[in-house]
Amino acid sequence: MRETPYGPVYDNILQSIGKTPMVKVSALDTGPCELYLKLESSNPGGSIKDRIGIAMIEAAEEAGKIEPGGTIIEATAGNTGLALALVAAQKGYKIIIVVPDKMAQEKIFHLKALGADVRLTRSDVGKGHPEYYQDVAARLAEETGAFYVNQFSNEANPQAHEDMTGPEIYGQLDGDVDAIIAGVGSGGTISGLSHFFGKKSPDTEIILADPEGSILADFVNKGAPPNAVGSWLVEGIGEDFIPDVTDLSHVKKAYDITDKESFEAARELLRKEGILGGSSSGTILAAALKYCREQKEKKRVVAFVCDRGEKYLSKMFNDYWMYDQGFLKRPPKDDLTDLIS
Ligand code: PMP
């Protein structure tokens, strides 16, 4: 790889993972704060998960858990699958992705286009059922001797954020970071950042953005999960359990964000700041704006755009979908202006 004043020249696409740019929020009301967004959407696979895709595969290589040309298995239809399939294709590994059958066709097409062997399994069964997607992946790994990545208990996941994401944020802002707002899917990002900043800059506050219905916000704010788990439409964050790699002990505060608030924030992010992010970026931005507006003095705050918004164009960016979900008010019948504009 070669750095030039005009931009880097990479020897292969995997070198372009990480070192993502930051953009300062300029049009939205950030109270007394400066808010910076780290554009994880500019990773080659389109999300923050590229970082752990390469890190988990390289950790397995080092530990001798995969042979050249060997097979990797993961249970996911999300960004982790896309990241692992991208890295596997570049490194010459075969990859099996076990996908619950409710997942969007686009994701399945994208995984297949990357060369992944996609196995569909039932979405209507829970943990412990033989057809639950994580159990299918674990069984296939045992039967075939393939390497089961399992991001929820793979230590290389938070480690990647401690080694890469944390130092990048610290370096990009010359060590002057008052708060970081992140979501939790596997918990890799928030745990890795907690560990890095806990050692390097312990005054930096780590704040959780959680979709309403997920158990994590209560766990942070009240010390215990709620009695019931709800459901939410935001993709990639929020949990009904606490994954093994999730360490919330450094997280100072959590914001519960509704789907409506998340989608509205993502739509504003595009219209006002020109950034096309996914739904979890909306949740994180909504929480970051709340945090910023609550402050009495100027703080430097960092939040994430975790993935690209293209896969949500027919959902939260589509007014008709928003009307159907009840998140936007449908215009009166005789007013068809928005149909022709
Ligand atoms: N946003 C999106 C869109 C994601 O796919 C994920 C991972 N599921 C996250 C945020 C959260 O990242 P982590 O797994 O590191 O908690």
ipTM score for this prediction: 0.97
The residue whose two tokens read 């960092």 is 302
Please give the full DSSP string across 246-300, using - where no structure is assigned: ---TTEEEEEEE-HHHHHHHHHHHHHHH---B-HHHHHHHHHHHHHHHH-SS--E
- pLDDT at 105 > cutoff 60: yes
Nearest residue (CA) to ligand 1, atom 4: 236
Q: pLDDT at position 333, please?
A: 73
Ligand 1 pocket check for 306: Cβ under 6 Å: yes
pLDDT given at position 336 = 64
Which of 186, 206, 208 has most ligand 1 atoms within 8 Å of its beta carbon, as the pocket-test mutant? 186
Alpha-carbon distance values, 340 to 246, 262, 271, 335, 336 (Å): 47, 27, 19, 10, 7
Predicted local distance difference test score (pLDDT) of residue 337: 66
If you measure from the C-alpha of residue 337 to the centroid of ligand 1, how many angstroms do you get, rounded to a whole number?
37
- The pLDDT value recorded for residue 268 is 98
- For residue 84, give the nearest of 24, 149, 28 by alpha carbon: 149
Task: Say if residues 100 and 119 touch (Cβ distance below 8 Å).
Answer: no
Amino acid letter, residue 202 = P
Residue 307 CA to ligand 1 centre (angstroms) = 9
Instruction: Give how far Cα 56 sits from Cα of 52, 126, 134, 200, 338, Å.
Output: 6, 26, 17, 24, 46
Which letter does DSSP use for residue 234 in this model? -
Q: Is the CB of 186 under 6 A from ligand 1?
A: yes
The share of the chain scoring above pLDDT 70, in percent, equals 98
Which of ligand 1's atoms lies nearest the C-alpha of 235? 3
Residue pLDDT, tens place only, 109-129: 999 999 999 999 998 888 789
C-alpha 262/C-alpha 212 separation (Å) is 10
- Given a cut of 70, whether residue 334 has pLDDT beyond it is no
Q: Which of 41, 49, 103, 181 to mutate to test the pocket of ligand 1 (most atoms within 8 A of CB)?
A: 49
Express each pLDDT in 152-174 by its tens digit.
Answer: 999 999 999 999 999 999 999 99
Phi, psi of 121 (to 5 degrees): -140, 175
Asked if residue 271 has pLDDT above 80, the reply is yes
Residue 341 has pLDDT above 60, yes or no: no
Task: Check: CB of residue 281 under 8 Å from CB of residue 269.
Answer: yes
Q: Which of 38, 49, 107, 260 is catalytic?
A: 49
Q: What is the pLDDT of residues 25-79, one digit of tens each?
A: 999 999 999 999 999 999 999 999 999 999 999 999 999 999 999 999 999 878 9
Q: Is the CB of 187 under 6 A from ligand 1?
A: yes
Instruction: Please choose from 43, 154, 280, 310 the residue to mutate so as to test ligand 1's pocket, defined by most ligand atoms within 8 A of CB.
Output: 280
Average pLDDT over residues 316-340: 84
The confidence score (pLDDT) of residue 212 equals: 97
The verdict on the CB of residue 183 being under 6 Å from ligand 1 is yes
Active site residue 127: no
238 pLDDT exceeds 60? yes
Cα 273–Cα 164–Cα 42 angle in degrees, nearest 5: 35
pLDDT at 340: 59
What's the pLDDT at 228?
87
Separation of alpha carbons 137 and 125, rounded Å: 14
Averaged confidence pLDDT in the chain: 95
What are the backbone angles phi and psi of residue 14, rounded to the nearest 5°? Answer: -65, -25
Q: For position 335, what pLDDT does the model report?
A: 65
Q: Is the pLDDT of residue 102 over 90?
A: no
pLDDT tens per residue, range 70-87? 999 999 878 999 999 999
* Each residue's pLDDT tens digit, 172-202: 999 999 999 999 999 999 999 999 999 999 9
Q: What pLDDT shows up at residue 338?
A: 62
Assessment of whether the complete model's pTM goes beyond 0.90? yes
Percent of the chain with pLDDT over 90: 88
Distance from chain centroid for Cα 140: 26
Do 214 and 254 form a contact (C-beta atoms < 8 A)? no
Ligand 1 contact, 237 CB (< 6 A): yes
